[in-house]
Structure 1
């Protein structure tokens, strides 16, 4: 089972997921209420990246923010993206990569089943949230120039 299937299985008791063939190419996924419509023409990596963001919208967004008309809309969009990226690129999984000697950006993106740019954006959210240097569960993270870790 791939990561997209695992994510959908985890949330399908609360969220409906429907693959659609008639979505515009510019739209990877869309949430209406508790239903996430997934563009069937996107590849699995892009579907995963879009689905976790839409799960973030279900969990964190209030109201219709599709127009980005207010600062609140923009904040909610950002919050949903961060929520989604942390669903699949969480610190425990980054530690699992380290333990498995998965260290290069392309190996990590393969592990998480996301694009390299998506992975780096997720790492950037940790840099903003936790700072350049931080410890977590006995590991020292340094996000100054990418990602380096060591066991404490």
Structure 2
């Protein structure tokens, strides 16, 4: 999914997305159906990863969750990230990348058009959700000790 496609999805959800210089090293911010993306972010790949998380806040969060000392706020942050991870990187996407020859995390991130950090978060998310591995569409997808995909015959 491209950054431009995510902008359309945001618009269809009634969200306004703007580029703006953000304080406190923030990369993105969601508030009252508005998403701000730090204009200093240079690549659309990183912008896309930030935008999908902010859309995730629209889908999963409520109230002001800026204070990450509050456990409820941290949980909402994790829900938004998980929503974003699963929106941009499905289990099927991992299998397709494997079948198309991606052999390491760098190639996988490039194939999926996400940052390596976002990919690592997604893999960690799936590990928490499914455990060490899961079976999907005649494949075993291992999340630990490292990502591995095996076709079941």
Q: TM-score, normalised by structure 2?
A: 0.89
**What's the RMSD between the two structures over aligned residues?**
1.7
Conservation of the 8 A alpha-carbon contact between 1:28 and 1:46: no
User: Cα offset for 1:45?
Assistant: 2.4
Q: TM-score, normalised by structure 1?
A: 0.90
Higher mean Cα deviation, 98-107 or 58-67?
98-107
Aligned to 1:8: 7
Residue correspondence of structure 1 range 1-152 to structure 2 within 5 A: 3-24=2-23, 26-43=25-42, 44-152=44-152
Query: 2: distance between equivalents of 1:121 and 1:22?
Result: 25
Conservation of the 8 A alpha-carbon contact between 2:65 and 2:73: yes
Query: 2: distance between equivalents of 1:142 and 1:85?
Result: 17
Distance 1:129 1:7, change over 3 A: same
User: Cα offset for 1:91?
Assistant: 0.8
Higher mean Cα deviation, 56-65 or 42-51?
42-51
Query: 2: distance between equivalents of 1:48 and 1:25?
Result: 20
The alignment of Structure 1 onto Structure 2 pairs a total of residues equal to 151
SS at match of 2:47: helix
SS at match of 2:17: strand
User: Cα offset for 1:151?
Assistant: 1.4
Listed as ranges, the gaps of 5+ residues in structure 2 are: none
User: Cα offset for 1:7?
Assistant: 1.8
